[in-house]
Chains A and B, each alone.
Chain A
């Protein structure tokens, strides 16, 4: 679970997508398993699949229990269809994280906690240079961080398993390998078995490089830093010396240092815990290795647990999720995150769309500025013309167009060259294009309406507030669909989504007036008291004997006439005002009838 990070949420408890991040699937009623054990804190929530992450948002406590897992941590996906009362599950196998394993090793073995300093150094070292390895079955060259072959799935071999008795659990192997690798050099040297050249053997191709090489001359694999190796060796020799000085419980007697590993391995298992702790900092790598072997059963299990996460789909939908997850994994969107600065986006867009990045010519002075302006214009033109070529292209370019619109409005904010009215109108057009990645039935599936409600809430709240806290559903429908661009929704979907506001605890309400008019209101506006009191005081503030009609109210408080009418009727129904129907239409007066006495 520690590989999941807390994520940012919008006020309506949807995830905030990162740059270029698009939500691809959503599924509710999903529980998390940490390894094989249910993760207590994450029993039921909504899982979002984006092209970069898997996000879990708890249904009960979304603020504190919302976490995300980058897809790049995942190297394997298994789908389990479910059987009888067991829900379908997707198991995600994760790449081990060094610090994570380190923690595990330590927490499992309190007895050797004293070695943590060195251990960490070793861990850091191993992290720094994980040598690539070649699968012994299919000969595929794998990245150092992989523990299984990317092609055939065969586990990474523990490199010196032939010479060493101890066989570390595979998932921990890279950590444990590091000290072994280090220790193997002096042993080899001392025993004179292998090449005694002062070079560094490449961990991948075994070529002995000059000690000052950073990369292998043959295969360019990163070599371990000779200086830190030297330091390690130094430390290790000190430890070995100290072991020799220890009481005879440990049979160090062997003079040849090459026998030390096996002797230690043999004796370590006999070591009482106290003795292990007195051997503080001694041959940490070895000790870790040997003691790990004692615990290997539990360690294997815990490391397996640490390196896999299960999503349990109690509400179904695992199949579609699995398919999309696989697609997202193979798309590897995270590898192509453009790294340009946000303010330089237009430029970057241009570069992207041109595919061949134009070299940035650094020319100072006016001509340089002119040229960059020209390039910008060209790029914008191209994006625009491409986008409008046909609808298909427009859909593809939607995100870019939105970015462009945002940039233009930002630019407008800076320059005041246009007159204000024009600017305002233009801005209004741009602003109403706001939703970059609209929630669709495809991406949200069963939770479509909930997601839609959240999206709608985020989008419409400022609009509704600008409109005075109330907006008719018709207007909402138009504005919302315009913002969604091509992903139009039906009135029924909108209606359903609006009805979910109370359930999702969002401060907007769909309200039906007696006449059948549907409006969206902010929660504060939802209170009849407030509206009717304000209308009553408005009427009372008029000159005595005057009245108010819907049109006057509408223009006074900037709402639609239909809505003003509804508010008047509502106030009337509460007995605060009374009506006068005449040839002049329906007008409302302070309710004198209610308190008149004759």
Chain B
């Protein structure tokens, strides 16, 4: 960590103050070329890597799941650094997300034509473990839960997956179903979908 600080100082990049939310951008966030899509392949690779790391951290910190390429996202302090007066262009964000999608860190919403993406700052498999652990802890196995109960129910309050994005939740359930630990039941709406965890899933 001290190395990084030293190199930051050498590069002349100042440290951004921590946000009100407690999140602190790394100082590369104040590096003007960071906001230009680098035409050199190797540089771009590193740049996209850095951006995806920052995006994931930022999303994780703020429990965000969905990235919309609209004015709000583009004007977000994540992509718009008013200190150095630089912002990422929507095309650049799109290119970064493309890189993230390739790595499995994000996924384009199929219907959005690359205008909306889900950021997996935690992988569906990890979510699955987490939810499963919570279900068994509460002894909710062998009973049917709705998706709403998992994402927004009183029991899940305080859990990391509270307010989880529906798409992420669905992906997670798909993982569990594939592993034969759970079965889903169709509901009228997405939130009315039900899921039953089997005992076999217990460790």
- Name A's B-contacting residues (CB within 8 A): 543-547, 572-575, 578-582, 587-598
Contact = CB atoms under 8 A, between A and B. Distances in A.
Contacts of B46: 593-596
Given A545-B12, A578-B38, A578-B43, A596 B32 contact: no
Interface in B1-35: 4, 7, 9-13, 26, 28, 31-35
B47 interface: yes
Contacts of A593: 28, 31, 33-34, 38, 43, 46-47, 50
B36 A581 contact: yes
A101 B34 CA distance: 85
A582 B26 contact: no
Contacts of B34: 593
A469 B40 CA distance: 26
Contacts of B13: 545, 592
B72 interface: no
B36 A580 contact: yes
26 contacts: A544-B11, A544-B12, A545-B11, A545-B12, A546-B12, A572-B39, A572-B40, A572-B43, A573-B39, A575-B40, A578-B47, A580-B33, A580-B35, A580-B86, A582-B35, A582-B36, A582-B86, A589-B31, A589-B32, A591-B43, A592-B31, A592-B33, A593-B43, A593-B46, A593-B50, A598-B54
B42 interface: yes
A598 B8 CA distance: 11
Nearest to A571: B40
A543 B10 CA distance: 9
Interface residues of B, number: 27
Nearest to B38: A578
Contact of B53 (A578, A591, A598): A598
A526 B115 CA distance: 46
A598 B53 CA distance: 8
Contacts of A544: 9-12
A-B pairs with lowest CB-CB distance, top 10: A545-B12, A544-B12, A580-B32, A580-B33, A578-B33, A581-B36, A598-B26, A593-B47, A575-B42, A589-B33
Given A578-B47, A598-B53, 17 more contacts: A572-B39, A573-B39, A575-B40, A578-B38, A579-B33, A580-B32, A580-B86, A582-B36, A587-B32, A588-B33, A589-B31, A590-B11, A592-B28, A593-B38, A593-B46, A593-B50, A598-B26
A571 to B, nearest CB: 10
Contact of A598 (B28, B36, B42, B85): B28
Question: Which one of A544, A589, A596, A597 has the highest number of Cβ atoms from chain B below 10 Å of its Cβ?
Answer: A596
B200 to A, nearest CB: 41
Contacts of B36: 578-582
Nearest to B34: A593
Contacts of B54: 598
Contacts of A545: 11-13
Contacts, number: 76
A582 B32 contact: yes
Contacts of B31: 589, 592-593
Interface of B: 4, 7, 9-13, 26, 28, 31-36, 38-40, 42-43, 46-47, 50, 53-54, 85-86
The interface residues of chain A, by DSSP majority, are classed as: mixed
Contacts of B50: 593, 596, 598
B11 A578 contact: no
Nearest to B30: A545
B28 A596 contact: yes
Nearest to A547: B32
A595 B10 CA distance: 13
A594 B43 contact: yes
Contacts of B33: 578-580, 588-589, 592-593
Contacts of B7: 596
A546 B34 CA distance: 14
Best-surrounded residue of A543, A544, A546, A581 (most CB of chain B within 10 A): A581
The residue among B33, B35, B43 with the most chain A CB atoms within 10 A of its own CB is B33
A579 B11 contact: no
A590 B4 CA distance: 16
Contacts of A575: 40, 42-43
A478 to B, nearest CB: 32
Nearest to B29: A598
A597 B26 CA distance: 10
Contacts of B35: 580, 582
Contacts of A597: 4
A544 B9 CA distance: 8
A543 B38 contact: no
Name the residue in B13, B46, B50 with the highest tally of chain A Cβ atoms < 10 Å from its Cβ: B46
Contacts of B4: 597-598
A593 B10 CA distance: 14
B38 A579 contact: yes
Contacts of B38: 578-579, 593
A306 B32 CA distance: 80
A544 to B, nearest CB: 3
B42 A594 contact: yes
A575 B43 CA distance: 6
A589 B36 CA distance: 12
A544 B8 CA distance: 10
A591 B26 CA distance: 16
B157 to A, nearest CB: 32
B42 A579 contact: no
A593 B52 CA distance: 13
Contacts of B11: 544-545, 590, 592
A572 B50 CA distance: 19
